Chains A and B, each alone.
Chain A
């Protein structure tokens, strides 16, 4: 009856991932929804690119810059949304009480949220990236190894924000669930997704420096326009992300402890 079996944490993380894969498997509209918005955004920016090619010498130097930008932005957004929505699923189904009377630890739930976010992002953004190849003759995969570095940094930043948002929802209840859909967009103007950071006023450039995503998008433009991989920007993004993910996980675990003090795990839900 008692005693921990080997690989307990891996098995429990796998159980939560399996729970959400069952949910996806049981509903094709959910899978379609994952691909739908990234693809619509990519098509929109693809046509804007086609228009601007004849009107902008900047776009003409690297025709894939806007499509790459929108796809990479979606890595950040979908990474954050993946964590928050998967957590919200547990709250909507009033399942947190059942989960946390089992041997599942909060940090294992965090790991499962990150794993599901990765799967959802790969389905959504990966699908849109594949559609871009026949539609616009542009493959984001041509960036090669730098793409992996950009992807990894953006999804880690998305996870960090997703964990903070999930913690806030846990602390404040489902009335705060809207945060999951809009909070990340506050960062978009500062991130320089579609334009260089140099465009920003000087004081905002100082703020942008503290966003890992700013360094990623500057790096993306360097790779596309100058065909160079800026190690300095990568180091900045990684260093900031170490701080971000620590803050994100810490905030979530702190909010979890507050929920245990307030008794929210048993009662929270729709």
Chain B
């Protein structure tokens, strides 16, 4: 059994001749927050989808808590959850109906009490009887976060958790996630374009470019390595290198994800 919460070894994903992820390997330790960074088309969303089992890798091995996600994902899916502003909940159902359904899918014990606690903690009690489709972007983010926390996941995968949120709501979401991680010992892996968020929340940064892992370390290590003052400048350095590196290989094009 692996000690890591997430183990990725030599994972590649191709869509026809398009290589979206190329020989990716990394570990994420339990109880930490890690960030998957990279420009558009770097392969972050593809990687998250493979970690969730929604997408089968072309080759390689993915383990979550030591469980093979390709062969035995149902042994571990109940211990993890996911939130993304790009994957909706049913719009015509109310917030309470949506959360009840997902609570049943995850087999949450004392579901009514759990919903009450989450509604209070995430300040969505007043939204429970409203259709999900009528909520603002910020309200939807809090509701999908409530859905992602229903089963008190040991592993939380987040795709741009603060995208399209105002600074106040974004700060509130980050604080809530930090509190949840510290209280439960959960592992969080997030894909983000927000470098302030990454510097604040993450102990491990995985830098992707054109489907490959090009660098890895703590924010402090990366700042020192690139001689920069903040992660945004590090990100730009890597993006500029991307333009240089992205010469077409024979028979393969790079993906945009």
Instruction: Give Cα A1–Cα B97 distance, bound, in whole angstroms.
Output: 22
Identify which of A93, A98, A100 gathers the most chain B CB atoms within 10 Å of its CB: A98
Q: Which residues of B contact A104 (CB under 8 A)?
A: 105
Cβ–Cβ contact A8 & B101, under 8 A: no
Instruction: Give Cα A137–Cα B31 distance, bound, in whole angstroms.
Output: 71
Cβ–Cβ contact A98 & B55, under 8 A: no
Cβ proximity bits B39-73 to A, threshold 8 Å, 1 near / 0 not: 00000011001001111100000000000000000
Stretch from A13-21, A77-85, A150-158 at the B interface: A13-21
Total number of A residues with any Cβ neighbor in B under 8 Å: 38
Instruction: Give Cα A263–Cα B77 distance, bound, in whole angstroms.
Output: 18
Instruction: Give Cα A26–Cα B98 distance, bound, in whole angstroms.
Output: 13
Instruction: Give Cα A169–Cα B87 distance, bound, in whole angstroms.
Output: 19
The verdict on A22 contacting B147 (CB below 8 Å), with A93-B90, A102-B105 known, is no
A103: contacting residue among B15, B46, B77, CB under 8 A: B77
Closest residue of chain B to A11 (Cβ to Cβ) is B104
Q: Give the contacts of A62-106 with B (CB-CB under 8 A).
A: 89, 93-95, 97-105
Cβ–Cβ contact A103 & B104, under 8 A: no
Q: Which residues of B contact A98 (CB under 8 A)?
A: 82, 87-89, 102, 147
Identify which of A3, A12, A263, A269 gathers the most chain B CB atoms within 10 Å of its CB: A263
Closest residue of chain A to B257 (Cβ to Cβ) is A263
A sample of 25 inter-chain contacts (CB < 8 A) reads A1-B79, A1-B151, A2-B79, A4-B78, A5-B109, A11-B104, A11-B107, A12-B105, A15-B101, A19-B90, A22-B94, A23-B90, A27-B92, A93-B91, A97-B54, A99-B105, A101-B53, A102-B105, A102-B106, A103-B78, A105-B74, A260-B55, A263-B15, A263-B49, A266-B49
A197 within 8 A of B: no
Instruction: Give Cα A260–Cα B101 distance, bound, in whole angstroms.
Output: 23
Q: Which residues of A contact B87 (CB under 8 A)?
A: 94, 97-98, 266
Q: Which residues of A contact B80 (CB under 8 A)?
A: 101
Instruction: Give Cα A260–Cα B107 distance, bound, in whole angstroms.
Output: 24
Instruction: Give Cα A16–Cα B54 distance, bound, in whole angstroms.
Output: 19
A153 to chain B, nearest CB (A): 32
A193 within 8 A of B: no
Instruction: Give Cα A97–Cα B104 distance, bound, in whole angstroms.
Output: 17
Q: Which residues of A contact B141 (CB under 8 A)?
A: none
Closest residue of chain B to A7 (Cβ to Cβ) is B107
Instruction: Give Cα A5–Cα B151 distance, bound, in whole angstroms.
Output: 13
Instruction: Give Cα A99–Cα B92 distance, bound, in whole angstroms.
Output: 16
Instruction: Give Cα A10–Cα B107 distance, bound, in whole angstroms.
Output: 11
B11 to chain A, nearest CB (A): 14
A262 within 8 A of B: yes
Closest residue of chain A to B157 (Cβ to Cβ) is A101
Given known contacts A93-B88, A98-B88, what 5 new A-B pairs fall within 8 Å (CB)?
A: A2-B79, A19-B97, A94-B87, A100-B53, A103-B105
Closest residue of chain B to A100 (Cβ to Cβ) is B54
The verdict on A18 contacting B101 (CB below 8 Å), with A4-B107, A94-B87 known, is yes
Q: Which residues of A contact B236 (CB under 8 A)?
A: none
Instruction: Give Cα A19–Cα B94 distance, bound, in whole angstroms.
Output: 10
